[in-house]
Amino acid sequence: MLPSYERFSDPKSVFFRLPFARLAVVALSLPLGGFFFCVIWSLTFDFVRSTYTHCDVTNYLPSVSAAIGNYEPQKTVWRLAIFLHLPLRLAVAKIYLEHYREHIRRSRRLLGILACFLNVVEDLALFCLSFWTSADHYETHRNAFVVFIACSECYMLVSYLLNRNIRKTVLLPHEEKSLRYKRNLFLVNVVAFGLAGYCFVRHNSHCEAGVYTFFALFEYIVVLTNMGFHMTSYWDFYALNVVCDAKHGLYLSQI
């Protein structure tokens, strides 16, 4: 059972109570909507500039960095989406930490803390690479991107293993569904990242027409599978409320 403080908490001290599903959907819709807006706007109104590369060969898609960070209004829309969704992502990281403390075997709880740490660092790195773009602050953007990818891949792997092998209790049907999505999204993410790296190196080495388009496409898959992985929290905390009160702070309770 998840910890519930309601039985000894004064209802008048509750600041807010909302279904976790709503929190999860809002946390995903902000970056997802911002991402699609930036790509579609770049293709519609900034096609030539956003798809240009140093090789000056035919290209049909902008890279993620070009779509979200080089031009207006895409840059502002993306930054606003990331700024607004960051507190929600950090709140979910805290909720997961409490969840792991309750459900993970005591001898493995350090892995739960590691997962929370990786999640928070990933969120902060995403914030940094969004506000310090490659066009204006290349080194800062590059370093933040490296940290983001490293923490993202490690978090997905640790999170999957925590829920698969180290649980104290048997998984419920919706938790099993979440675990399947975690596995599949992680595998697709890793493969897409490898293919994106291959296309990037090949483009820079041979300057072949269309190769950078495939790089951008695989980048999109990396971004979308990352978002999808975090959306699995929808099933991890199915039928639960997020509650915040004066005495206990943020916690989960049964609906």
Q: Is residue 9 part of a domain?
A: no
Residue 133 structure tokens: 């773009």
pLDDT of 25 > 50? The answer is: yes
Q: Is residue 15 part of a domain?
A: no
The pLDDT assigned to 72 comes to: 93
pLDDT of 249 > 80? The answer is: no
The pLDDT assigned to 10 comes to: 55
- 245's enclosing H/E stretch is strand 240-245
pLDDT of 165 > 80? The answer is: no
Contact (CB, 8 A) for 68 and 78: yes
Q: Is residue 3 part of a domain?
A: no
pLDDT digits (tens, 9 = 90+) for 198-230: 999 999 999 999 999 999 999 999 999 999 999
Q: Is residue 11 part of a domain?
A: no
Cα separation, 175 vs 66, in Å, equals 37
Q: Is residue 40 part of a domain?
A: yes
Contact (CB, 8 A) for 146 and 154: no
> Which DSSP string corresponds to 118-179?
HHHHHHHHHHHHHHS-TTT-HHHHHHHHHHHHHHHHHHHHHHHHHHHHSBSSPPPHHHHHHH
Residue 117 structure tokens: 């740490």
Q: Is residue 10 part of a domain?
A: no
Question: 57: Cβ–Cβ under 8 A, 6 or more apart, which residues?
Answer: 207, 208, 209, 210, 212
Beta bridge partners, 16, equal 244
Residue 69 — very low, low, confident or very high, per pLDDT cuts 50/70/90? confident
Contact (CB, 8 A) for 180 and 171: no
Give the dihedral sign, CA 250/251/252/254: negative
Question: 82: Cβ–Cβ under 8 A, 6 or more apart, which residues?
Answer: 30, 31, 34, 126, 127, 130, 131
Global confidence as pTM: 0.88
pLDDT digits (tens, 9 = 90+) for 154-164: 999 999 998 88
Q: Is residue 175 part of a domain?
A: yes
Range of the domain at 191: 20-239
Structural domains in the chain (count): 1
Beta bridge partners, 253, equal 241
The pLDDT assigned to 12 comes to: 60
The pLDDT assigned to 128 comes to: 94
Q: Is residue 6 part of a domain?
A: no
Q: Name which of 250, 244, 200 is nearest 95 in CA terms.
A: 250
In this prediction, residues 123-152 reach a mean pLDDT of 91
Contact (CB, 8 A) for 85 and 30: yes
